[in-house]
Amino acid sequence: MAMADLREWLAKVEEVGELQTLRGVHWDLELGVITEIVGRQRGKPAVLFDDIPGYPSGYRVLVNILSSRNRLALAMGLQPGAREWRRRIKETPLQPPRLVDRGPVMENSMVGEEVDVLKFPVPKWHERDGGRYIGTGDAVITGAPDGDWVNLGTYRAMVHDRNHVGLQIGPTHHGLWHMQAWHARGKPMPVAIVLGMDPLLFLVGANEIPQGVGEYDYAGAVRGEPIDVIKGPITGLPIPAGAEIVLEGFVDLEDWRPEGPYGEFTGYYASGALPMPVVRVEAVHHRNNPIIMGAPPLKPPIVEYCYLGVVWNALLWDMLEAAGVPDITGVCVHMTRNIVVAVSVKQRYPGHAKQAGRIAAQSPLRGGIGHMTIVVDEDIDVADIDEVLWAMCTRVDPERDIEVMRDSTSSFMDPMAPPEKKGGPLVHSRVVIDATRPYEWRDRFPEVVASSPELRQQVLARWGEALKGII
């Protein structure tokens, strides 16, 4: 079922008993510590912070948004899983956004000298952060200067002052490509930063949709109907009509300021403080009693990242098939393990497994992070890291099955990037591990000690009732 906006989704989440409200928690680190505790444990509810000291009642922050199967299903409108996501996208054409005249996001506006982004309870998430980060669970909207391609990306945004916000956009992300295109023409890039929205838009924006495909169009296909947008009064960019808060402004060619340090999803303060582009905020629009969506990175394991990976898995699966790799049976990015990628294949020919691994290892979807790709047979559940590790321990000959790929794209967020190279072009190596049975004698490989599916089903049919509560 499609959700009109964040508030409709929250009402459904509350109905299923997965929303908890906390009052009086301070924006300065207290809120971040609670987010960290909740975000690293499975089965925890979404948390809505209200009555934040120094701010009006009703100015809220929402965290732990998509860290349960129920909440992800409500956001997606279908049962979570890469196969379901791929099926929906294949069955439903892209749905361009629907332009409407008005929306709740325009209930309040600050323009020019009125702008003050600290009107909202912007958290300081981690103890060693270089500032308060207003953009974590956000969608940064940019557009190509000479076309209809509009991109939504989740990029972190740090508050510099009342009307300047720093953006950190990695080199492989489409928002940076748009910025480079604008700046090549000597023009500032218009940008809109959405700070609370339908979680489906966050889910799509946090993943790397193929170049040239608009995230609005893609989200509309998943939803089965267009996303309602209004034309931003300052930038002309399409902004979600039901958004909670939107900042509109421009990124100038010359205005770069130190951004960070910031606690990153690798579990480190890896990039330090580096010069990053700055948005000059010229207008702020927000609903009454607005909600900031927070999704700060945490030291792994991060439960929410596990669920965000559903879309990533589907996109990588599609990319492998488009590259001509046959018989992919599963894809899983283990984001709680700092982007270890596992791919399963039904081997068809010699080199099949390594082919899949090499292509997956070089996928632009990885954003320059992630050193390890593991390919397994179809009998291994790629979502079960213990099974993947078992395959690594029992089906790998290190001399023939481990391949190092040098000079791969990297990121300043990589904790293994040499300190003296931070801020400049980076490359690193990646490893592909072929943890499949050797193709040449796979039929003579020792059999696995496990019940056959047929026997298992037979026993459970007889004893399933008695085993309730045990299995």
In angstroms, rounded to a whole number, what is the distance separating the alpha carbons of residues 216 and 150?
8
Work out the average pLDDT over 169-194.
Answer: 92
Given the DSSP bridges, would you call strands 189-194 and 150-153 parallel, antiparallel or unpaired?
A: unpaired
% residues pLDDT > 90 (the chain): 65
Helix pair angle (6-15, 69-76), 10° resolution: 140
Q: In this structure, what token pair is assigned to residue 198?
A: 């339908």
Q: Please say whether the beta carbons of 288 and 58 come within 8 A.
A: yes
- Res. 390: pLDDT tops 60: yes
At residue 340, the pLDDT reads: 87
Contact 60, 48 (CB under 8 A): yes
**Residue 113 carries which DSSP code?**
G
Express the helix, strand and coil content of the chain in percent, nearest 5 each. Answer: 30, 25, 45
Please calculate the CA angle 333-335-339 and round it to the nearest 5 degrees.
70
Top pLDDT among 413 and 99 is at: 99
Q: Where are the alpha helices (DSSP H) in 209-302?
A: 215-223
pLDDT at 291: 98
Greater confidence, 223 or 288? 288
Q: Are 188 and 251 in contact (CB under 8 A)?
A: yes
If one counts every other C-beta atom within 10 angstroms of the C-beta of residue 414, the result is: 21
**Residue 234 in tokens:** 């300052």
Give the model's confidence band at 1: pLDDT under 50 very low, under 70 low, under 90 confident, else very high. Answer: low
Structure tokens at 55: 């701010």
pLDDT over 70 (residue 56)? yes
The four Cα atoms 41, 46, 52, 58 give a dihedral, to 10 degrees, of 180
Read off the pTM: 0.86
Q: What is the mean pLDDT of the chain?
A: 90
* pLDDT band, residue 338 (cuts 50/70/90): low
pLDDT for 126-168, tens place per residue? 999 999 999 999 999 999 998 889 999 999 999 999 999 999 9
More confident residue, 281 or 312: 281
- pLDDT category at 342 given cuts 50, 70, 90 is very high
What the chain holds in terms of domains, given with CATH numbers, is 86-293 (2.30.110.10), 323-441 (3.40.1670.10)
Residue 304 tokens read as: 């929410």
CA end-to-end distance (rounded Å), the chain: 32
Name the helix (H) or strand (E) containing 415: none
pLDDT of residue 335: 65
